[in-house]
Every structure is written in C-alpha cells, then in structure tokens.
Chain A
Amino acid sequence: MNFDPVVVKKDFPLLEREVNGKPLVYLDSANTSQKPRQVIDAMSRFMETSYAPINRSAYQLAAESTDAFEAARAAVRRFINAPKVHEVVFTKNATEALNLVAHSWGSANLRAGDVVVLTHMEHHANIVPWHMLATERGLKLRWVPLTADGQLDLTTLPELLDGAKIFAFTAMSNVLGTLTPVKQLVDAAHAAGAIAIVDGCQYVPHNPTDVQAWGADFLAFSSHKLCGPSGIGVLWGREALLDAMPPFLGGGNMIADVRLDGFTCAELPAKFEAGTPPITEAVGMHAAISYLSSLGMDNVREHEVEVTAYAIDKLKARYGDDITIHGPTDPALRGATLSFKFKDIHPHDVSQVLDQANVCVRAGHHCAKPLMKLLGANATARASFYIYNSTADADALADALANAGDLFGF
C-alpha cells in the first residue's frame, strides 16, 4: 500500500488555505513545490536554537550550526547515492550549479571549436550558460532532436557526440514530462570521450536517484522543487573532476590562504562555496529530504505514475481531441507534468479561468523557448502533480477547464 496523498496534504499548511472560500488545487509543483510543516518547523527551530556562522568560530553554538549544515550535506549524499560527501557542493539553485560547471570545468577544458551537445528539451538554465561559454570561447553547440511524441530521438546520437567534450541533458523535461534514458545517455557520452552532466531539477524530487548507477559526472538540482526552501541547490560532481576545476566565485570560505600576491583554494567542497552559504536553508533541505525519504522515493514515483495515468485518461475521456497533451502518453515514460493545449484557447486565458476555481497551473514558455518553438507554440498550460495531489485534483482540473470552453465559446 502506498501513502495516501490526502493524508500527506495535511502536512502542508499552505494547502489547507482557502482562497475566496474555496480550497486550493495546487498543480504547479514543477515550478516550485509547497513545504511541509516538518520543513517549516525544522527551519524555525534551527533559527530559534542553533543559528550561528559556520566554519568560522570556535564557540559551541557555531559548532552546532556547522554540524547541522554538514548533516544536510550528508543527507544529500545519501539521497542521490553519491560516493563521497565532499562531492556535494551547495549552490543557490540548479541554475547556479549548471553555471558553475559550465564556467569552471568549461574554462579549464574547452577551446575554440570544441563541441557541447545539448538536447532540444533543455531548460534555459542548461542552455544559456553554454551559449555564454560558446560566445566567449568559440564552441559549437549540437542538439539532440526529439521524436514526435516528445522523447529524445537517439538515432543520430553517436554522430552528434562524435568529438564532443560535454553532453549536458535533463533527466526529465519540465515541459513534456519526458523521462530520458539517463544511463544510456551517460554511457554514450563516455563512449565518445565526453563528460555527462545531468540536470536533475525535475527528476530528483520525484524519483529515486543513484548517481553511481547512472555513472554520471555531474548532477544539478534545486531544493525548492523537493519540498525544501528556495535559496539552496546542489551540484554533485566526481571528486577527480571537481578537484581539477578552478574555483567559481571567489571570497571567504573558499580559500586556504590569501596573500598580497595571490591565494590558494580550500579543499572540496569549500572551494566552490564562497561566502556565507544558505545555512538555514540547508537545514530545511535536510528536513525535506528526510520527509521524502520517509515516504520512500519509490512510492513517490509509483504515486505519480498513478495520478498521471488517471489525469491523462480523465482529460482525454472528457475532452477528446479538444485537448492535446504534449509528450509521451505512457505514464511509464514520463513524470507527472502535463503540458497541454486546450481547444484554441491561449494558455494565459486557460490559466486565468482555472484560477477562478483556485486551480493553479503555469502558463508560459516554461523557460524552454527552443522546445516551445518545436511544439509550434509560444506557450502551453502546464499542470504538474506531486505527493500532495490526489485524483480529486485531476478531477478539479477537468471540471474547471469546462469553464474556459464556455467562456471563449470555442
């Protein structure tokens, strides 16, 4: 027996809230997730009892604070099954983690003419840093195309990877919901002599993650999508790679020594953690990881497969060809993120009408403009489900959509 999302939902104070006398139907967790009481309490408790600078002071309180911060790092290591705890670098978010790799690994290893391979379904966070580097260094970007049902089209992968130095790809599309075959992609990258960078922003909060089973070189993700606070994210990287990279930001905490004529870097992970880090946020992220782990990531995945199957069936049964759901329709191939087109109604208008029923969905380009172009749309509406969403939320979405049809008379 899996967990009951209705029971899980009771842990999330915000989801108890009513707006205009009606309950909230929060279907925007691919954007950012809500926070359980356990996370909120852990952060408050920490600030009330143990908050102090980390790594800098000798008094007991500072040691407690440092311990709490390092305990969060250890929790992240277990959560993604990384080999070593100092391979876990805290960043501001996934975006910063990807910029860190692009900047530091890229500046040490890439020269004019070098090839970076990306896919057509990347988030801007895994495109723009490479564009920036490409402009600066004269790199070439190649793009893995998509199949008609929104999966990666791997038929030309060996040619695309030929001579490439980097293959950076998402483990799950934030628009299509597509899960990519991470291990296969990592293996292909390595066979071509490239490093494999996995954008785990959408995958890690919803699936059991094992970087060693993948064989990946880097993984980036954000806390705020996995029930933790915003303001903290993770870059995991192989020790040997991180060790060989120059630092990213310079300042306090990342140095072993500073002289008038230069500096030497601290050891991992401090080398990549310049300045005062998000301390309370690390504690919150730890609580979020504990919360998800107590549900069990296998169970989280199983629950989302069920809700996705239900939602797709429900929307299709009710609206037939009036609704187009992008990406694979087989729930085994996708996560619980459904981008859709409803009749000819613009997604902004769809989300506005849904908002009247407190159904919160995202409308827009989802920071994936190259993919939107491929879909032939400027925008889509996107409903995304998480641990606190039940089939009742899919019903609410389906019901609220009828109002959009009525209003626009399409």
Chain B
Amino acid sequence: MPGLEDLYREIILDHYRTPRNQGELPPPAVRAEGHNPLCGDEIQVYLDVQDGIVTDIKIGGQGCSISQSSASMMSAAVKGKPVAEIRNLVRRFKNMMSIEEEDGNAPPLDESRPLGDLEALRGVVKFPVRIKCATLAWNTLLDGLDQSN
C-alpha cells in the first residue's frame, strides 16, 4: 500500500498552507468555475489573457489539500506563459495523472522543460480517488482558456 508520504509531499503541504495567487480578477478577466461532483469541492479560475499570454491568474474556492495545492502550483506554473505552452502543460499534467489523451490528433507533447514543483503531485496516481482532486483546477483552467478564445 502506498504510504501517505507518497501523497502529502512537503511541497504540497506548503502550497496548501500558503496558496499562491489566491483571489479574484475583475472583468474583463475570464472566470471559469469547476466542481468536483464527488465531494462538492469548488474552484474558480480567473485569467487575464493578452496577445496569447496569460498575464495574470487568480484562484478562488475551497478544497482539499490536493486540489488546493494543485491549483496553487498550477497558477505559479502558468502565470506569464503563452497559451499554447500552457495547453501543452495541461496535457503533460493529465498524462502524469494517467488520464487518456482526449484528442487523438493533438500535436506531439513537448516534454523538454522540467515540470518543477508539479512533479510532487506524481504520487497522487497511487491514490486513484484523489486524481479528480488534482485535475479539478486544470480542467477549469482549460475551460477558462477556451472562453478567452
């Protein structure tokens, strides 16, 4: 049985206790909302997208340590990045969570950059019930990116 230390890595607990980029952005920022129907967790992702770059991101809502830390790390990883690069990162993250690629015709993944802090969430795969917690923010981010198109 995987131990709790596989799940609750120190860096995850750090993001949980002091989440990055919390708050809201006023319109015209895009607002996307995600729900985990299993446990009732909610998340809001606010995005400022200018010239194909996510210039700012804020996260609202409540959730468990995994969903909150995943959202926090995600916000840090995407802020200031081009949308195309972010979409690539979302796919890499979902791959890491062993989620099947939805679009069979998607361009090849660029895995040249290290995942950094996000690597800490790799252990979640061993706790299948928690994968939905880890991916909630990322799916909501995708929704926001789609809205901003």
Chain A interface residues toward B at CB < 8 A: 19-20, 346-349, 352-353, 356, 363-365, 369, 372, 378-379, 407-409
Task: Kindly identify which residue among A352, A363, A364, A369 contacts B7, using a CB–CB cutoff of 8 Å.
Answer: A352
Q: Can you name 4 extra interface pairs (CB under 8 A) apart from A348-B39, A352-B7?
A: A348-B41, A353-B4, A356-B4, A379-B40
A353 to B4, CA, bound (A): 7
B65 to chain A, nearest CB (A): 5
Q: Which A residues touch B133, using CB under 8 A?
A: 348
Q: Is B106 an interface residue (CB 8 A)?
A: no
B39: nearest chain-A partner, CB-CB: A364
Q: Which A residues touch B42, using CB under 8 A?
A: 378
Answer whether A365 and B127 are a contact pair too, CB < 8 Å, given A346-B63, A408-B65. Answer: no
A372: nearest chain-B partner, CB-CB: B40
Q: Is B84 an interface residue (CB 8 A)?
A: no
A365 touches B39 (CB 8 A): yes
Task: Kindly identify which residue among B3, B4, B13, B64 contacts A348, using a CB–CB cutoff of 8 Å.
Answer: B64
A365 to B38, CA, bound (A): 8
Interface range for B:
20 to 34
B35: nearest chain-A partner, CB-CB: A378
B65 touches A378 (CB 8 A): no
Answer whether A379 and B41 are a contact pair too, CB < 8 Å, given A346-B64, A348-B130. Answer: yes
User: How does the 8 Å CB contact mask read for B1-16 relative to A, with 1 for contact and 0 for none?
Assistant: 1011001100001000
B106 to chain A, nearest CB (A): 31
B41 touches A378 (CB 8 A): yes
B37 to chain A, nearest CB (A): 9
Q: Is B98 an interface residue (CB 8 A)?
A: no
Answer whether A379 and B8 are a contact pair too, CB < 8 Å, given A20-B1, A348-B66, A349-B64. Answer: no
A352 to B41, CA, bound (A): 16
A275 to chain B, nearest CB (A): 29
B64 touches A408 (CB 8 A): no
A348 to B66, CA, bound (A): 9
Answer whether A378 and B4 are a contact pair too, CB < 8 Å, given A346-B64, A348-B64, A348-B133. Answer: no
**Within residues 1 to 49 of chain B, which ones have a CB less than 8 A from any CB in chain A?**
1, 3-4, 7-8, 13, 38-42
Cβ contacts A to B, 20 pairs, < 8 Å: A19-B1, A346-B64, A346-B68, A347-B39, A348-B41, A348-B64, A348-B66, A349-B65, A349-B66, A352-B4, A352-B127, A352-B130, A353-B4, A356-B3, A364-B38, A378-B62, A378-B63, A379-B39, A407-B4, A408-B65
